[in-house]
Amino acid sequence: MLSFSRLTLALAVVGAAVAAPTKRAVAYYNPNNGGGSEVDIVSAGLGEPMNVIISGLSDSTIISSQSNFLSFAQDIGFSTECLGIHIGAAQQANLGDGNGAVDQLVEYRENYNPGGTCLESLIGGNHLRGWIQNGPSANSGAWFLAVSQEENATENHDIVPNGYNIGRDALVANANAWAAGQSAYSLTVEYVSGLLPAGSDGINHGISQDGQVAVITVTKN
């Protein structure tokens, strides 16, 4: 029979094991396999490509909450909308995780220096919408981002020609530059095909895109 002290120690060890954080095992789940899509929902039959994934294998200080993700987004040149004012309806996405179609969690715009996101609202620039894949059937914790380069306000922030590819690649370039300029984190990027069909079929504004999704993993050194 265990002594009281040994039983207490055994229970403490079990409790510590239960309380320990669980490291996520996958970068992301393919939304298409769970009845979702790598294209978000703007209107019936039309959407924008979610052309960047911040991997679920990234450090929790990057992906575990909206506030953490905002800090990362600010590090790579984005921020919240000008004066907190948003014009236009939220877009939805079905990430195939069992949550169905849900509204975007965030929308961030290019943070000019000087000028901030108010200048982006005026002259255009890069912007992103984001969702977390965290449903009961596919809980990767990954952020799925629809990134695009916009026209100026007089053009109603329509997407520039080739704006989906341009926006994605600009975000990747900023992320690489940020990673190279500090030592706390390491960053890897992989361009993945097969998640998103290339072309303009079903894509908002009829703008063709190359079907490549940039998967970014940020780990702490």
Distance CA 35, CA 130 (A): 19
Only one residue has tokens 């009961």, namely 136
Query: What is the structure's pLDDT at 149?
Result: 95
Residues 87-138 have pLDDT tens digits of 567 999 999 999 999 999 999 999 999 899 999 888 889 999 999 999 999 9
Distance CA 158, CA 59 (A): 34
Tokens of 104: 């975007």
Q: What is the DSSP letter of 152?
A: -
CA 27 distance to own-chain centroid? 12
pLDDT band of residue 196 (cuts 50, 70, 90) is: very high
At 216, is the secondary structure helix, strand, or coil? Answer: strand
Provide the edge-to-edge strand list for the sheet that holds 52-54: 78-79, 106-110, 125-135, 138-150, 52-54, 213-220, 185-192
CA 197 distance to own-chain centroid? 19
Give the helix/strand (H/E) hosting 116.
helix 116-123
Residues 142-195 have pLDDT tens digits of 999 999 999 877 656 689 999 999 999 999 999 999 999 999 999 999 999 999
pLDDT band of residue 81 (cuts 50, 70, 90) is: confident
Q: Is 12 exposed, middle or buried (0-12, 13-18, 19+ CB in 10 A)?
A: exposed
Mean pLDDT value of segment 46-58: 98
Mean pLDDT across the chain: 89
Domain extent listing, the chain = 39-220
Distances (CA, A) of 52 to 13, 184, 213: 40, 22, 5
User: 144 with 95: CB under 8 angstroms?
Assistant: yes
Tokens of 204: 């908002």
User: 51 with 164: CB under 8 angstroms?
Assistant: yes
Residues 198-216 have pLDDT tens digits of 999 999 999 999 999 999 9
